[in-house]
Amino acid sequence: MASEANIFVDAVVLLGGAVVAAPLFKRIGLGTVLGYLFLGILLGPVFNYISEGESVLHVAEIGIVLLLFIVGLELKPARLWEMRKEIFGLGTLQVCVTGIVLAIIANAIYFSWAAAVIVGFGLALSSTAFALQLLEDSGGDRMSYGKRAFSILLFQDLAIAPLLVAVPLLAAGSMDFSTAGLGKTGLAFASIAALVLIGRYALNPMFNIIASTGAREAMIAAALFVVIGSAVLMQATGLSMAMGAFIAGVMLAESSYRHELEADIEPFRGIFLGLFFIAVGLSVDLAFVWQYIYYILALTPLTIGIKAVFLYGLARWFGSSHNDSTRIAFLLPQHGEFGFVLFSTAASVALLSAEEASFLIACVTFSMALTPICVWIGDRLVHHAGPEEMEEDFEGAGSHVLMVGFSRMGQIASQTLLAGGSDVTVIDNDAARIRQAQSFGFRIYFGDGRRKDVLRAAGIDKAHVIAVCTHNKDITTQIVNMIADDYPNKHIYARSYDRGHSLELLERSQVKEFRETFESALVMGRSLLEAIGHTHEDAQMIVDDVRLRDSERLKMQFKDGMLAGRENLHSKPVPEPLIKPRQTAPQSEQSPAPSAVVDVAGDPKS
């Protein structure tokens, strides 16, 4: 860096550059990650303003640590156990199959077998920082493909430990596991067990004590202490720092302080993760890259292409759809930040030469720069004909009001509930609508309201009332009938599409129907009355009278069992008006005033 005296000037330059680059690249559709990379390349190798890129990168790795801690906070141990098939099945196959294939290619092109093993498995690892940041930016972290991609990344973090243990063994020319190697492996597993025990029995009491003092800054310090302390413990035993932070997060996922911890850590995570991407750009050696530009341009697309092919095939084998498999394949083909550590370690024990390690690190960096472009290509290859699927996850669901369907009517009703201080749990099967609603703070979950298991998972047993606000008339009726049969004591409030649908819903005694445009039409009618000369009081009395007469008529029609005959829907006599409105203008003989509200046709879907 320029000098210690100018450290604050450098910080201002980095922060100011990030403020410009990240929004600019986000606005033009390239993503914030590529903006940070571009800024780092400008400040480092292009203008040589900051020359110590590797030092910045070492500090900025704390961003990955904080990122994995927050991810762990959102995964309870039970949820992590449910993902074991993806983590230890799909993740293991991805690392082993891709690593072996890349090792064979590396040996065939240039490297010795010992070096090729490290090269192949090192390139098989993906970038946790890049992938998770892109998932978060796009909302993919809540999608089924995002959960599966995270499982692969999680196993890759586990794989770095045995790979680091294998480096000195391969350099020595023997794969015999020495006592020291076995001891180091045992120490790593012991440290995981110790961290789990500490997290289970010590962390919550510690946060209870600190919270009781009311010292806000102490809570923030404690959160950082837990994250960095667990990371350092894992690093000391040969595991990745990110893995330690992740385990600590999982152990605190069921803590009552989870949301407060996430809020405390999030600002640090954002700053340091952005600094990590800038540091990757700072570390690029343009002279070296230019010297081997043709090899880098040829080999990097080859290796990421091979990874993409195997990622797609393995994801399909494990049951992912074409769209999900495509997104995974184009999200994780890059080489990861652990490659920096692995190749540098191999160079330190002479398994790789310094020039070979630099070449591989340049390939890793170039592949990271290509990641946003790969994701863009992947988005163009998916099929957009059908609805987008999300993974069903009902963690935190359950409130006094359960709303099925987040239509326009449901959105307005839920805002009313929230404004009144009442909580509401919403389930919907439109992924785009869910992501948009979540950005506004709604507690909304992906699921099909026609399935009993989904309703139970969403907390229907806890709900006092259920609001059915789906877009489709037949689906609304199906859901209402199912809930009425299985939960006869629940009060159901349903969106109705027309008068005939209202009569159909009223067959269930615990259902109250609301025609979607009836009340808004009455409001409009009142405004029209006022516009032609009626006073506000007279207009309101007329509207109240119309509402009352319509309600009486609906009851009469339902009582007489006229659900089947739509053509006779309005054949019953209409009650006389209870209020005789004052006439302010003569009525035309050609246009007599209607004696009742008529609701025949259904309204268009919304």
Residue-wise pLDDT tens digits, 528-548:
888 888 888 888 888 888 888
In a domain, 581, yes or no: no
Considering the chain, what is the average pLDDT of its residues? 76
Helices (H), 318-382: 322-331, 338-348, 354-381
In a domain, 387, yes or no: no
Region 93-101: what's the mean pLDDT? 92
Region 453-476: what's the mean pLDDT? 84
Please tell me whether residues 351 and 442 are part of one structural domain.
Answer: no
Strand bridging mode 491-496 / 465-468: parallel
Between 100 and 244, name the one with better pLDDT. 100
| CA dist., res. 458 & res. 452, Å (int) | 10
HEC secondary structure over 111-160? CCHHHHHHHHHHHHCCCHHHHHHHHHHHCHHHEHHHHHHHHHHHHHHHHH
The answer to whether 195 touches 69, Cβ cutoff 8 Å, is no
pLDDT band at 185 (very low <50, low <70, confident <90, very high): low
In a domain, 592, yes or no: no
In a domain, 593, yes or no: no
Number of Cβ within 10 Å of residue 263's Cβ equals: 11
Q: Which residues of 22-57 are buried (b: 16+ CB within 10 A; e: fewer)?
A: beebeeeebbbbbbbbbbbbbbbbeeeebeebeebb
Please tell me whether residues 16 and 122 are part of one structural domain.
Answer: yes
Per-residue pLDDT at 388: 57
Please tell me whether residues 374 and 265 are part of one structural domain.
Answer: yes
SS3 for 493? Answer: strand
Q: The CATH number of the domain where 83 resides is what?
A: 1.20.1530.20
Please tell me whether residues 348 and 422 are part of one structural domain.
Answer: no
Range scoring the smallest mean pLDDT among 13-22, 96-105, 194-203, 322-331: 194-203
How far CA 512 is from CA of 168, 461, 467, 482, 490, in Å, comes to: 73, 19, 10, 15, 11
Per-residue pLDDT at 440: 66
Region 400-413: what's the mean pLDDT? 84
Find all residues with CB under 8 Å of 329, minimum gap 6, and list them: 308, 309, 311, 312, 315, 378
Please tell me whether residues 422 and 359 are part of one structural domain.
Answer: no
In a domain, 578, yes or no: no
The answer to whether 300 touches 363, Cβ cutoff 8 Å, is yes
Per-residue pLDDT at 409: 83
Whole-model pTM: value is: 0.59
The answer to whether 78 touches 100, Cβ cutoff 8 Å, is no
Region 377-405: what's the mean pLDDT? 71
Find all residues with CB under 8 Å of 302, minimum gap 6, and list them: 105
Nearest of 300, 603, 293, 343 to residue 476 by alpha carbon: 603
- φ, ψ for residue 570 (rounded to 5)? -115, 25
In a domain, 195, yes or no: yes
Residue that has been written with the tokens 């069903």 in this structure:
392
Please tell me whether residues 40 and 156 are part of one structural domain.
Answer: yes
pLDDT digits (tens, 9 = 90+) for 478-531: 888 888 888 888 888 888 887 778 777 777 777 887 877 777 787 788 888 888
Please tell me whether residues 238 and 201 are part of one structural domain.
Answer: yes
Per-residue pLDDT at 319: 84
Find all residues with CB under 8 Å of 84, minimum gap 6, and list them: none
The answer to whether 144 touches 324, Cβ cutoff 8 Å, is yes
pLDDT digits (tens, 9 = 90+) for 6-33: 677 777 888 888 888 888 877 776 667 7
Strand order in the sheet with 424-428: 444-446, 424-428, 401-404, 465-468, 491-496, 511-515
Q: Give how many domains the chain has, as a whole number.
A: 2
Please tell me whether residues 326 and 474 are part of one structural domain.
Answer: no
Please tell me whether residues 371 and 471 are part of one structural domain.
Answer: no
Percentage of the chain beyond pLDDT 90 is: 6
DSSP string for 225-261: HHHHHHHHHHHHTTS-HHHHHHHHHHHTTTSTTHHHH
Please tell me whether residues 160 and 84 are part of one structural domain.
Answer: yes
Region 223-249: what's the mean pLDDT? 77
In a domain, 576, yes or no: no
pLDDT digits (tens, 9 = 90+) for 473-484: 888 888 888 888
pLDDT band at 447 (very low <50, low <70, confident <90, very high): confident
The answer to whether 412 touches 419, Cβ cutoff 8 Å, is no
pLDDT digits (tens, 9 = 90+) for 320-362: 888 888 999 999 998 887 787 788 778 777 788 878 888 888 8
Per-residue pLDDT at 310: 93
pLDDT band at 390 (very low <50, low <70, confident <90, very high): low
pLDDT band at 314 (very low <50, low <70, confident <90, very high): very high
In a domain, 603, yes or no: no
Q: The CATH number of the domain where 425 resides is what?
A: 3.40.50.720
Please tell me whether residues 376 and 497 are part of one structural domain.
Answer: no
Per-residue pLDDT at 561: 61
Range scoring the smallest mean pLDDT among 105-109, 237-241, 343-347: 237-241
Element (H, E) at 432: helix 431-439
Per-residue pLDDT at 503: 74
Residue 111 lies in domain: 4-172+185-381
Q: Can you say whether residue 214 is alpha, beta or left, with left for phi > 0 and alpha for psi between -120 and 50 degrees?
A: left
Please tell me whether residues 219 and 138 are part of one structural domain.
Answer: yes
Strand bridging mode 491-496 / 511-515: parallel
Region 574-580: what's the mean pLDDT? 44
Per-residue pLDDT at 312: 92
Strand bridging mode 465-468 / 401-404: parallel
Amino acid 569 reads L
